[in-house]
Amino acid sequence: MPTTIKNATKKDEKLNKIFILSYQDKIDELPLTPTEKDFVLSQRLGLKKDLVVVNHYLDNTYVVFVNEVDKTNKRLEFCRRQGAKICSNANTNGVKSLFLTIHEVLVDESMALAEGIALANYQFIKYRKDKDEKLNSLDSILLSGKGYDKSALNLLNIRIEATLWARDLVNEPLNKLNAEDLADAIGTKVRQAGGKAEVFNKKKIQALKMGGLLAVNRGSIDPPTFTILEWKPENAVNEKPIVLVGKGVVYDTGGLSLKPSSAMDTMKCDMAGAAAVAATIYAVTRAELPLHVVALVPATDNRPDGNAYVPGDIISMFDGTSVEVLNTDAEGRMILADALSYAKKFKPELVCNFATLTGSAVRAIGSQGIVAMEVMANSAFKQVKKSGKVVHERLVKFPMWESYRDQLKSEIADLKNIGGPEAGAITAGKFLEHFTDYPFIHFDIAGPAFIDKRDGYRIQGGTGVGVRLMFDFLQKRAEKK
């Protein structure tokens, strides 16, 4: 269960307190003994510590110092990371609840710190025999003080819950989550929140002639799915929907263009784009944002079975485009192309595509950011980039120059499914662009979607990247008439 952030009541036993101070604040204001205040002061001034823990035997007091001269986004990320440190200390000491005292001048920083604690407290241990013993002790964060409201707290809890659900989906292995399982899981979750969900089975996908999705699925014994999730409230402020598209390759061997064994170890994460868009529309639905949003999730695994598609095949896509396959490991763009073409039916205001698409993106910027590209969506991109800075899911914009399209020219078909040895993330974006005729933003999340070691509140494994980014962007979009 996600760690709950809620209002403290008078009945709560106020142990394990957290205080956030600016460097200008006086330590004298803390409810500590003179000796403890001297200790905090020596740790802050003498050892330059930003987080000081005062041990009271039965409980701890955590003092976090925030530098007011730093820019807001930097302060927020600093607080999330301090929250991760507090979370670790709390679980080590068997703490069940933390009490965070909010000062009106540091509300945003306090909420960010609570978010960092909750995200850092995530575990995926459901398949461990000793899961009860390994379960973190911390289960709640209690807030007291002035300056925050119930609405903001509710939205923060929704954002956290959705992000952790996305992590769960990404961390599930193929034998527990194939394409049909994924469609059932995301459809059920969104329906329970009040949204709509429709799942196309293989027969329907064949009738629609979604050639890219069917080609990738040919090597699998499990059928593909195509899921449509929708939230359309009566008070929606947008006349045309915002459509989210997510790559749902539940496992990727590379097909006949087989990956090395070591490169397959984490390929259960190749549906992180699907998890991101499903969790985002779930959050939008739970929050009842006045915004019409649709999510499209094409899903299959990619295996090298006897009838698998092969390099040299010509595939006819949903929109009639012929594609020469030169690498079966470039499968994500094949299934996404059908979804992006299908998105035209909605006459969208904007389409945002999320995919663990290329190793090129990982090599370019690692796991510290998201490679992004846009077509006819410069204004929206600027807003998403601002949201990226707020939640620290930062965007690095790559160009979409027309000259990159030359690498995708084929002598025998309309397109090749890969470009040359250079600019692989960009040529993948250019391939996807071919299937769009609307404002389009593509997010290649291959780097940050799944990490091999903990990074603050981003735990090892699935990170849920993209959910907090898009939820913040959509919240702000919902405020515009």
The residue annotated as part of the active site, out of 14, 196, 240, 259, is 259
Residue 218: active-site member: no
318-322 CB contacts, 8 Å cutoff, 24+ apart: 318/208, 318/209, 318/210, 318/211, 318/212, 318/342, 319/435, 321/414, 321/415, 321/434, 321/435, 322/413, 322/414, 322/415
The residue annotated as part of the active site, out of 159, 333, 389, 430, is 333
In this structure, the chain runs to a length of 481
Closest CA to 466 of 378, 356, 343: 356
Q: How far apart are CA 470 and CA 391, in angstroms?
A: 10
> Is 248 within a domain?
yes
Q: Give the helix/strand (H/E) hosting 245.
A: strand 242-246
C-alpha distances in Å from residue 73, one per residue of 108, 148, 165, 312, 395: 10, 18, 25, 49, 14
Residue ending a domain, among 144, 166, 192, is 144
> Tokens in use for 353?
């595509």
Beta strands in 283-333 (DSSP E): 293-302, 314-316, 322-324
Which pTM value belongs to this model?
Answer: 0.97
What's the confidence (pLDDT) of residue 299? 99
Q: How far apart are CA 40 and CA 51, in angstroms?
A: 9
- Domain range for 79: 4-144
What's the confidence (pLDDT) of residue 331? 98
> Is 151 within a domain?
no
DSSP string, 406-441: GGG--SSSSEES---SS-HHHHHHHHHHTT--S-EE
φ, ψ (nearest 5 deg) of residue 474: -70, -35
Is the same domain home to 449 and 308? Answer: yes
C-alpha distances in Å from residue 82, one per residue of 20, 77, 78, 88: 10, 9, 6, 10
Q: How far apart are CA 240 and CA 344, in angstroms?
A: 11
> Is 150 within a domain?
no
Residue ending a domain, among 116, 144, 172, is 144
Residue 129: active-site member: no
Is the same domain home to 193 and 283? Answer: yes
Is the same domain home to 174 and 316? Answer: yes
Task: List, for the chain, all residue ranges whose pLDDT scores fall below the cut of 70.
Answer: 1, 10-14, 481
| Domains held by the chain: number | 2
The CATH number linked to 84 is 3.40.220.10
Q: How far apart are CA 290 and CA 251, in angstroms?
A: 35
Q: Which residues contact 155 (CB under 8 A, 6 or more apart)?
A: 287, 475
Is the same domain home to 252 and 197? Answer: yes
What's the confidence (pLDDT) of residue 14? 63
Is the same domain home to 231 and 285? Answer: yes
> Is 376 within a domain?
yes
What's the confidence (pLDDT) of residue 11? 67
Q: What's the whole-number average pLDDT of the chain?
A: 95
φ, ψ (nearest 5 deg) of residue 128: -85, 140
